[in-house]
Structure 1
Amino acid sequence: MTATQTASLPRWARLPLALVCGLAMGLAAAPWNLWYLGFAGLVGAFWLAGVAPKGVRSAGTGWMVGLGYFGFSMGWIVEPFMVDPAETGWMAPFGLLGLGGGLALFWALAFWAAGHLRRWHMPALVIAWTAAELARGYVLTGLPWGLIGYLWLPVPPIQWVSLVGPYGLTFLTLAAAGLLAEALPRPGAFRQAPRPWPARMGFAPGIVLGLALLAALFGGGRALVPPVQDLDGRPVVRLVQPNAPQHLKWRRDMVPVYYQRQMDYTGAPAEEGREPALIVWPETALPMLLHDASDALSQISLLAGKAQVVVGLQREEDGAWYNMLALMGPNGTLRQVYDKYHLVPFGEYMPAAALFAKFNILGLASRAEGGYTPGSGPMLLGLGGTLGTALPLICYEAVFPQDVHAAPARPDMLLQITNDAWFGSFSGPYQHLAQARIRAIEQGLPMVRAANTGVSAVIDGAGRVLAEIPLNREGYLDTPLPPPMRLTVYSKSGDLPVLLMLFVLAGLLWRPARREAERETD
């Protein structure tokens, strides 16, 4: 690719267009859910990759796409810093730029790698971009928030995660977008240049193959949607949502208000005469440490009657603090304790804390005496009877497919408690809910979700929200618990098949890529 060939799309046009493509992709996220605009932005990103010069400038295109996507869709990241603006508000722009720009580096690397293969750039970018998303979910504790495959949540293709998982669906989505992009016309200076595969075979193949893959995604997804389950006779769960905004949650005069609100909801009469078998409070709902909570736990259990209760709180042991949940039996006994083990960097602990402390940067972790200590790992709660077992997930542990897959055995439900007041009152809580729905689809399991400010919900194994308490509302909800659905393919295989597929496909591209590189050096 020569300098004259790139003159028809100069940097001043290419980089803003890349940013616009990323912004369009961000509109596929909740609460907008404009999946068609998100997919169009993805097609545009592939088109730009095809006309961008290779090397650093190709990486720049990918980084701008990522900056637009992550900076827009994850704009809620400024909310935690604004809980106490006088102390941490100055960090907000750095947090937004650091998160958006940092995650965009994964995409920049994918564009850079694929940019070296002009004739094979489309399949190379599909492979590299999928690998970048997979790496984003694991590297440096991982953050698979808003994976590309999630754009399908409002429509049937999202059901493919039960077969191939979120990274497999990301691969299929990228392949469909890449095929359609290859059929689009290039700027004038490119019409005489060799076209990358498969568009050099003509206009029709890209359109036909791309539309065929889209049809398979929609048709297969629709076929994978399981029927609505009969909930007659199923045990009832009660979700408690106190709606305590984060800036008021720990204020001395408000702590008893929110505590009493949850107590009232716990002891409220059963709806339609069906007593709940399980009552769930959200994350850090109890305003005291575990070793000080025996009287409070007894009072909660007394109000709950025969129901078991899950309560989120904190504990301290030998100077270490833990974000935890407690399971209490009907007689007030503490049956099980689970400590959160996948902690939020800069939120629940500070990486390189000693280094940041030199600059007086303690971050949000300073709320818990310098940060939480991770628990020992995933475990199951033995609820017994028709409730069965539950895999507990605290806050953003539900964002990680691998954390759910790591359960010691298949549970009967997923149980998430969270405090989404940290995510603000607009996009963040809805995106967190969306990813909880995807975890349910992947595993074919119901998700019981109690959130401080919402959205508290019961979700079935197809990702359908059966009942919910809206965002920024206080209240409680009694609803039947759906039974588990069939064992999904993804729940057995995890992410390993996608990883192996990427290695095989990269190997198949190796020889033609090497020949192309040799021709360029001759």
Structure 2
Amino acid sequence: MFDRRAGIALAFCAGAINVLAFAPFGWWPLQILSLTFLFWQLQRTASVRRSALLGWMYGFGWMLFGTSWIYISLHDYGDLPAWMTIIAVSGLALFLGCLFAAMGAIAARLRQRWHSSEIVFLLVLLPALFLLAEWTRSWIFTGFPWLSAGYAHNVGPLAGFAPLIGVYGIGLLSAIIAGVLVLLPQRRVLALLPALLFIGGAVLQQVSWTTPHGNPITVRLLQANVPQEMKFDPARVPDTLQLYHAMITAAPADLIVTPETAVPVFLGQLPPDYLPLLADFGHATHSELLLGAPLADSPTHYTNSVVGLGGQTYRYDKHHLVPFGEFIPFGFRWFIDMMQMPLGDFSRGAALQLPLAVKDQQVLPNICYEDLFGEEIADQLAGAAAGTTMLLNVSNIAWFGNSIALPQHLQISQMRALETGRPMLRATNTGMTAVIDQKGHVQSQLKPLTNGVLSASVQGYAGNTPYIVLGNRPVLASSLLMLLASYVLRRKKLATREPLPPKTR
């Protein structure tokens, strides 16, 4: 009994330790080692119930400690009571953990029915189900793929696979390596597989999937560091507007970008001369300005957007909205009413939108949470925004204070650059404002929680990576083929048994 309880507790601890593999810590081998411990535990038990509990506790520890910063937005800025905030954060982690509980339960059940060998169970069945659990997390109830396993490897050798198979494919590879480590004491020859994957990833990092396009452009990315508790205070709005006006007009650049909702009021509520003065500056200096602001198309339809001022008219509306922060899920109005969060029910923008032309470059924005969804960005680059040469993320995650959410979000943007072979610009309110090159390396960034402007010259890149063309389809197909292989191997095992003697009357 003690051993069983200790195993459950250790699974929770392994999930929690997994968080250290991600930014800002970056100890990426821990992601594989923590998963190795979970697979080892699952391999030791034949119980479906215990396997589900092990997976659930691992996922719970992972999500609870990895997203604990949600407490800051709900309690510190949303004024939700502490007890309710703890329940909400824990409830989210428990729900996300259910996906890994399903992984454990299904793996144990199929292992029993198919009589899977240890090799098939650890190298084929479990990794395939782990991938499907991670992928399901990216879309169920609009998706919450924060801290997907592959993100831990953006600075490791497996990063070379990102342009081919994306963040979920890297997660699948890490799961296969975890299975190998469980088997290694009995089958040392399997050590060749992780070695080949690490060497292959390192070689792939030297491959250039995209090529430079046109001439570099100059950019200025603004980080005003407006405290979240003051951002939507009507008494402070004039100060915020003056601050951004001064930062924008301090110097020209080919592209000047403010963070998400830098203007915290609808454009119709601005002083009459505010936007014309900024537009005049853009025209006079040949600067394209992108201003983050909420837009109201009607009393019931408003969007979280960026608008262009200067040489051309431009608008991008956020498509993938954040539950509770930007739209109210059915049946949860009571929960929103307990908090003090402004602008809680936006309308969605179109799934495919055009980039902004800036001299030789085509810049495709995404807003905050949207850059968690690599497949959606890939769909844009393969479709209406096929000419895009650089990506731009505008964010305001001051909602999460000085927490690990800031470097984690930067890490997510690095993965998008790796997947698409394009540079990513980031303009944020409190951090991390940065320029990321097409290889996912941070070229320059501002210190978080400071007021400043990041100026840089950025080269755009054109061409398609395999991930842009195929998205997650190859990885999902691989997981299904792995499940099929597990079944086929079982059938082969039964077929090789000695035939039963014929029945006699």
Q: Give the Å deviation of 1:181.
A: 1.3
The SS at the match of 2:62 is: helix
Give me the TM-score of the superposition, normalised by structure 2.
Answer: 0.88
Distance 1:93 1:456 in 2: 30
Please give the residue correspondences for 1:337-416 in structure 2 after superposition, counting only pairs within 5 Å: 337-352=315-330, 355-357=331-333, 359=334, 361-362=336-337, 367-368=342-343, 370-386=344-360, 388-407=361-380, 408-410=384-386, 411-416=388-393
Match of 2:301 among 277, 296, 320: 320
**2:79 matched to 1:79?**
no
Residues 349 and 365 of structure 1 are in contact (CA less than 8 Å); yes or no, is this contact kept in structure 2?
Answer: no
Match of 1:237 in 2: 219
Distance 1:234 1:490 in 2: 25
Q: Give the Å deviation of 1:152.
A: 1.0
Match of 1:203 in 2: 187
**2:445 matched to 1:468?**
yes
Instruction: For CA contacts below 8 A with separation 6 or more, give which structure has more relative contact order.
Output: 2
Residues 110 and 129 of structure 1 are in contact (CA less than 8 Å); yes or no, is this contact kept in structure 2?
Answer: yes
Match of 1:183 in 2: 184
The SS at the match of 2:345 is: coil
Distance 2:428 2:391 in 1: 14
**2:271 matched to 1:296?**
no
Distance 1:16 1:225 in 2: 45
Distance 2:434 2:335 in 1: 39
Distance 1:180 1:220 in 2: 23
Match of 2:486 in 1: 509
The SS at the match of 2:459 is: coil
Which moves more between the two structures, 428-437 or 509-518?
509-518
Distance 1:254 1:338 in 2: 26
Residues 440 and 446 of structure 1 are in contact (CA less than 8 Å); yes or no, is this contact kept in structure 2?
Answer: yes
Q: Residues 380 and 227 from structure 1, CA distance in 2 versus in 1: closer, same or farther, beyond 3 angstroms?
A: closer
Match of 1:263 among 245, 268, 277: 245
Distance 2:350 2:209 in 1: 35
Distance 1:210 1:415 in 2: 35
| RMSD of aligned Cα (Å) | 2.7
Give me the TM-score of the superposition, normalised by structure 1.
Answer: 0.86
Match of 1:149 in 2: 150
Distance 1:76 1:450 in 2: 21
Q: Residues 22 and 453 from structure 1, CA distance in 2 versus in 1: closer, same or farther, beyond 3 angstroms?
A: same
Q: State the identity as a percent.
A: 29
Distance 2:240 2:160 in 1: 38
Q: After superposition, give the CA deviation of every residue in 1:53-89 in whole Å (9 maximum; x if it has no partner).
A: 3211101001111111111111111121123364454
Residues 461 and 485 of structure 1 are in contact (CA less than 8 Å); yes or no, is this contact kept in structure 2?
Answer: no
Residues 77 and 96 of structure 1 are in contact (CA less than 8 Å); yes or no, is this contact kept in structure 2?
Answer: yes
| Paired AA for residue 180 in structure 2 | L
Please give the residue correspondences for 1:78-157 in structure 2 after superposition, counting only pairs within 5 Å: 78-84=71-77, 86-87=79-80, 89-116=82-109, 117=111, 119=117, 120-122=120-122, 123-157=124-158
Distance 1:300 1:364 in 2: 35
The SS at the match of 1:426 is: coil
Q: After superposition, give the CA deviation of every residue in 1:135-180 in whole Å (9 maximum; x if it has no partner).
A: 1112221122111111112223213111111111111111111111
Match of 1:223 in 2: 206
Which moves more between the two structures, 253-262 or 17-26?
253-262
Distance 1:154 1:234 in 2: 26
Residues 280 and 310 of structure 1 are in contact (CA less than 8 Å); yes or no, is this contact kept in structure 2?
Answer: yes
Structure 2 gap segments, 5+ residues each: 498-505
In the comparison of the two structures, how many residue pairs are matched?
A: 481
| Paired AA for residue 318 in structure 2 | K
Residues 160 and 224 of structure 1 are in contact (CA less than 8 Å); yes or no, is this contact kept in structure 2?
Answer: no
